[in-house]
Amino acid sequence: MKKIILILLLVSYYAIQTNAQNAKDIPFEKSNFPGQKDQLRDAKSALDMGNEEFLGKRPGKYKFALEPYLRAQAFNPNNSELNFRIGVCYINGNFKYKAKEFFERAYSLNPQVDAEIHYYLGRGHHLNMEWDKAIEEYQLFRNGLDPKKKDQVFLIEDVNKKIAECNHGKILVKTPVRVFIDNLGNKVNSTYPDYGPVISADEDILMFTSRRNTTTGGKIDENYDEYFEDIFVTYKFNEEWGVPTNIGPPINTPGHDATVNLSPDGQTLYTYRDDKGYGNIYESILKGDKWTEPEKMAKSINSSDHESSASISYDGKTLFFVSDRKDGSLGGRDIWYVDKNQKDKWSEAVNIGTTINTKYNEEGVFIVPDGKTLYFSSEGHSSMGGFDIFKCELKNGVWSEPVNLGYPINTPDDDVFFVISASGKHGYYASIKNEGIGDKDIYMITFLGPEKPVQLSNEDNLFANIEAPVSEVFIAPPAKIESNSVTLLKGVITDAISNKPLSAEIVLVDNTQNVELATFKSNNKTGKYLVTLPSGKNYGIAVKAEGYLFHSENFDIPSSSGYQEVVKDVLLKNVQVGQKIVLRNIFFDFDKATLRPESNNELERLTKLLNDVPTLKIEISGHTDNKGAAQYNQTLSESRAKSVVEYLVSNGISKDRLEYKGYGLTQPIAGNDTDEGRQLNRRTEFKILSR
């Protein structure tokens, strides 16, 4: 037995010695390449070209150095320094995972090729999710550092962080999240870099940044040898994305123009421009099918530093953004927010705090239309490498601890600029993958929810302790996919007679608090509108346009409600004699004629209409369902109509312009055989008598 072990050890030793002899570090010298004078000359020229870029100061120097380095390496693959520098080029580029093989080859040729070779070997293994090998290399590098030297303290901290990232990665990869990650295909993506996707809340509009050759002006950024950034847009038809088009001027210019955020209703676009070296955020409004000239946002948002990412709340009153401003920063790039005051001005910026911001960089902030769920990318927290995407929620005014979205959404490379649909079913981001179409491609993530549990039948349970195998199982119903607590109200606003699309103002009110939450506008060319309603409120919605009677809707959305889309086309009626309008946000105490406080906003709108058209005379009418005696309903409906008239008179409307009538159950507008129908029949209306 001892002889066998000795023989194996000798074989192993000689194999190692043979490999060491074969792995010879070969300089670019004539003596090493006899008879290859011309080839050596070309290879050395490429090497010199690569070295000039590698040691230069151009921002894209690693990209420029890589191509000549690879030409030189094709001639001489056994030069340790060249292989090491190719690895460094890859690690500082987009295809980081390719660096490992070059670091390994450099080390095999010369273990002393660079003082930081073990660190770079760790990075190579880390990016390829070889966690234990990465940790081993990181530890070897750390062992050579001296914590007493100030210039090495940062390196020790960095290595410790990388080791922690590997340990996070080991945990996350063991329990992958259930998702599909699909490339949007060559209809959307190109052979050029495509990234920075932003979407409307209903997922019907997708905008993104691209460096394809159809950008405005067709100029190339000499610092990176890529076309200048432009914004492209595509629309969804029958669940498929159309061919993207350049959004054109005034959004796109001959310089860099990139997507930042699209408001939930798709009517406001936030973009990034590089102003004399400082990144700033701009705002543009969609008027019909034309975007307004982008305007630089307030000084409290844009600073003399760099602002790169932003996201607007569903009501347009809070903007979250990313900045590397120094004053008040907790780390490098932090997430900040500003609020809009009653004068429509942005407040001073506030750092979002230590629960979310770390001493490392944060980026790619996105607030969900539910108003309480925030997604962002961070190099801190439980990242498995580079930037990972995290999620947190606002609960009682406090942000919860961020949760890593998990693998395979997050990887050891940078995962950033993630957006999600209002439904919570789909997310979008850009990534570089082996199967990609170009450089960076846009991908859609489909969240599948928890796995369906396998349940044993009763008979199986009775025999659970018997050694015979279970012969039959059945699958439980599909697990419910977690959705956001949001209702999307969308539709088209048109003239009731001509069907012509109208530009109308849509006022959103919290009926319980009697507070106006937000104001939206329908598109003045298409009449389309989209309003986001987070769950947990009773909403009043008023649609108004000059020369038309306002239209009101009521939505009571419990906190327990999940995602839903409501399509509501609105026909606005001209101010004409005989027109009737249902006042859907007039509320009374149960079985009484006492107006509830939630009615105030609707009553104020009616008062304003009467003041705006001082010759208008109207009839207020009350209506009930068919429950109860006819005479009782008649009396109740008349008393309620009278209460409305009394409110109007008390607010300055002349009594001789008002009439009231009760119609009881005699004029239903829906069937009385369902709760929904009876609710529609219990209503207050006004009719124009003269003007």
Q: Please, what is the Cα angle at 673 between 672 and 679, to 5 degrees?
A: 50
DSSP-assigned letters across all residues of 200-258: -TTS-EEEEEE--TTSGGG-EETTTTEEPPEEEEEEEETTEE---EE--TTT--SS-EE
Q: What is the pLDDT of residue 453?
A: 59
DSSP-assigned letters across all residues of 254-294: SS-EEEEEE-TTS-EEEEEEEETTEEEEEEEEEETTEEPPP
User: HSE-up of 403 (CA within 13 Å, CB side)?
Assistant: 10
Query: What average pLDDT does the segment 637-652 reach?
Result: 96
Specify whether the CB–CB gap between 252 and 208 falls below 8 A.
no
Give the domain ranges of the chain: 23-174, 179-447, 485-573, 575-691
Compute the distance between CA of residue 247 and CA of residue 465 in angstroms, rounded to an integer: 67
Compute the distance between CA of residue 96 and CA of residue 91 in angstroms, rounded to an integer: 4
Does the pLDDT at position 151 exceed 90?
A: no
Same fold, 179-447 and 575-691: no
Q: In the CATH scheme, what architecture does the domain 485-573 have?
A: Sandwich (2.60)
Query: What average pLDDT does the segment 631-653 reach?
Result: 96
Q: What is the pLDDT of residue 142?
A: 97
Strand, helix or coil for residue 302: coil
DSSP category for residue 520: E
Does the pLDDT at position 478 exceed 60?
A: no
Between 2 and 354, the higher pLDDT residue: 354
Compute the distance between CA of residue 419 and CA of residue 258 in angstroms, rounded to an integer: 15
Compute the distance between CA of residue 500 and CA of residue 520 in angstroms, rounded to an integer: 19
Could you tell me the two tokens for 170? 């080991």
Q: Is the peptide bond before 408 cis (omega within 30 degrees of 0)?
A: yes
Compute the distance between CA of residue 46 and CA of residue 552 in angstroms, rounded to an integer: 72
Compute the distance between CA of residue 66 and CA of residue 286 in angstroms, rounded to an integer: 43
Compute the distance between CA of residue 570 and CA of residue 500 in angstroms, rounded to an integer: 12
Q: What is the pLDDT of residue 276?
A: 74
Specify whether the CB–CB gap between 611 and 669 falls below 8 A.
no
Query: What average pLDDT does the segment 641-657 reach?
Result: 96
Q: What is the pLDDT of residue 17?
A: 38
Range in 436-445, 460-469, 522-531, 626-635 with the lowest mean pLDDT: 460-469
Compute the distance between CA of residue 86 and CA of residue 63 in angstroms, rounded to an integer: 10
Give the Å distances, CA to CA, from 470 to 233, 460, 463, 504: 54, 6, 8, 64
Q: What is the pLDDT of residue 457?
A: 47
Whole-number percent of the chain with pLDDT over 90: 82
Q: What is the pLDDT of residue 439?
A: 86
Specify whether the CB–CB gap between 598 and 586 falls below 8 A.
no
Could you tell me the two tokens for 449? 């929810």
Q: What is the pLDDT of residue 331?
A: 85
Q: What is the pLDDT of residue 23?
A: 59
Specify whether the CB–CB gap between 438 and 189 falls below 8 A.
yes
Q: Please, what is the Cα angle at 656 between 653 and 661, to 5 degrees?
A: 95
Give start and end residues of each alpha helix (H) in 76-180: 80-91, 99-109, 117-127, 131-143, 150-174
Q: What is the chain's length?
A: 691
Rg (CA), the chain: 33
Specify whether the CB–CB gap between 572 and 496 falls below 8 A.
yes
Of the pLDDT bands very low, low, confident and very high (cuts 50, 70, 90), residue 452 is low
Its sign, for the CA torsion 666, 668, 671, 672, is negative
Strand, helix or coil for residue 544: strand
- The residue type found at 574 is N
Q: What is the pLDDT of residue 474?
A: 37
Of the pLDDT bands very low, low, confident and very high (cuts 50, 70, 90), residue 479 is very low
Between 477 and 671, the higher pLDDT residue: 671
Compute the distance between CA of residue 128 and CA of residue 121 in angstroms, rounded to an integer: 11
Residue appearing with tokens 């109200």: 489
Strand, helix or coil for residue 624: coil
Its sign, for the CA torsion 379, 385, 389, 395, is negative
Compute the distance between CA of residue 454 and CA of residue 525 in angstroms, rounded to an integer: 53
The closest alpha carbon to 686, from 583, 601, 612, belongs to 583
Does the pLDDT at position 21 exceed 90?
A: no
Compute the distance between CA of residue 69 and CA of residue 48 in angstroms, rounded to an integer: 9
pLDDT tens digits, one per residue of 570-623: 999 998 899 999 999 999 999 999 999 999 999 999 999 999 889 999 999 999
Between 79 and 332, the higher pLDDT residue: 79
Neighbours of 350 (CB within 10 A): 12
pLDDT tens digits, one per residue of 197-250: 999 999 999 999 999 999 887 889 888 899 999 999 999 998 899 999 999 999
- For helices 80-91 and 117-127, the axis angle rounded to 10 degrees is 50
Whole-number percent of the chain with pLDDT over 70: 92
Q: What is the pLDDT of residue 475?
A: 34
Specify whether the CB–CB gap between 377 and 364 falls below 8 A.
yes
Could you tell me the two tokens for 239? 């669940």
Q: What is the pLDDT of residue 607?
A: 95
Could you tell me the two tokens for 587? 């509320």
The class of domain 179-447 in CATH terms is mainly beta
Specify whether the CB–CB gap between 322 and 308 falls below 8 A.
yes
Specify whether the CB–CB gap between 316 and 367 falls below 8 A.
no
The mean pLDDT of the chain is: 90
Q: Are strands 334-339 and 318-323 parallel, antiparallel or unpaired?
A: antiparallel
Produce one character per residue of 617-634: b if its CB has 16 or more CB atoms within 10 Å, e if not.
bbbbbbbbbbeeeeeebb
Neighbours of 482 (CB within 10 A): 12
Fold classification of 575-691 (topology level): 60s Ribosomal Protein L30; Chain: A; (3.30.1330)
Residue appearing with tokens 């306002």: 550
Residue appearing with tokens 């950024």: 221
Residue appearing with tokens 């790169």: 308
Helix (H) or strand (E) holding 436: none
558, with CB counted inside 10 A (0-12, 13-18, 19+), is exposed
DSSP category for residue 340: B
Its sign, for the CA torsion 418, 419, 425, 426, is negative
Fold classification of 23-174 (topology level): 1.25.40
Of the pLDDT bands very low, low, confident and very high (cuts 50, 70, 90), residue 482 is low
Compute the distance between CA of residue 302 and CA of residue 276 in angstroms, rounded to an integer: 13
Neighbours of 288 (CB within 10 A): 11
Compute the distance between CA of residue 554 and CA of residue 248 in angstroms, rounded to an integer: 39
Distance of CA 467 to the CA centre of its chain: 51
Neighbours of 187 (CB within 10 A): 12
Compute the distance between CA of residue 105 and CA of residue 97 in angstroms, rounded to an integer: 15
* pTM across the whole model: 0.85
